[in-house]
Structure 1
Amino acid sequence: MGEQKRPEAVVDYAQHGSACPPAASRPPVDPAQISRRSVRRRATGMTHAKAEAALEYAQFDRRQSLRHEESANDGGRGEAELAEREGIIALLAGTGEVYDPQADAVVLVAGPSPGPATLSMCLASSASV
């Protein structure tokens, strides 16, 4: 029996020393989207009161970051974090429930995020370069 050939279009990135596609073929990084995703992940299970406390802390942290020029230019990440936290608080207001991103209409419209295994694998391979 002969050895089966792979189609020409399929590239084995591991063969080239990377588990991820080349940077040119990946979509550009959106710091605001990363921030929103991070806030939703950290807010999972929070009550309205805890979400308000987290917003106060994030506002304080943002004010402190703006005092330093190198921290102030974060690609929109700080504003996106505050806006996402405010949206979560508005969603939880008066409900008495805990936050669940699976039930958040905004998250459902935005679509699923890339899996953490893929992301960590890509980060690990780019760190070793």
Structure 2
Amino acid sequence: MIETKFYNGSNKTRCIIEYFEIPIGYIQFYAISEEECYEYGFENLKGEIYGTDQFIGETNYWGQGIGKMLMELITNYLTSEKRVQKILLDPQSWNERAIKCYEKSGFIKIKLLPKHELHEGELKDCWLMMYG
């Protein structure tokens, strides 16, 4: 059931983040659809645009630079191996820790997306951020 629901036909690459062989988080990356490009106002951009979602779920590993290292690895992989021109992500606006990490990793805030993501039963504002 999990294979059918989450993996079959998906264009997302999903990975468990390990730190010294300890699973501490999750990351996925995927090509942004034409529909999403239009929604975000990027319909005139040329080249590949990818999105990424990630988190370090084990709080003992926060504040150690692992998130920044992860973002450097994924941006390098996507730009050099996949030849991606732009990378998008959309952290919830209250998540200052993540936003600061992304900014340190070269992402810039593009625009606020009001009530963009359902989280714990409530629609939350998110920042659209871009690398490249």
TM-score by length of 2: 0.28
Q: Over alpha carbons, which structure has the higher Rg?
A: 1
Structure number with the higher helix fraction is: 1
TM-score by length of 1: 0.28
> Comparing both chains, which one has the higher relative contact order based on Cα–Cα distances under 8 Å and sequence gaps of 6 or more?
1
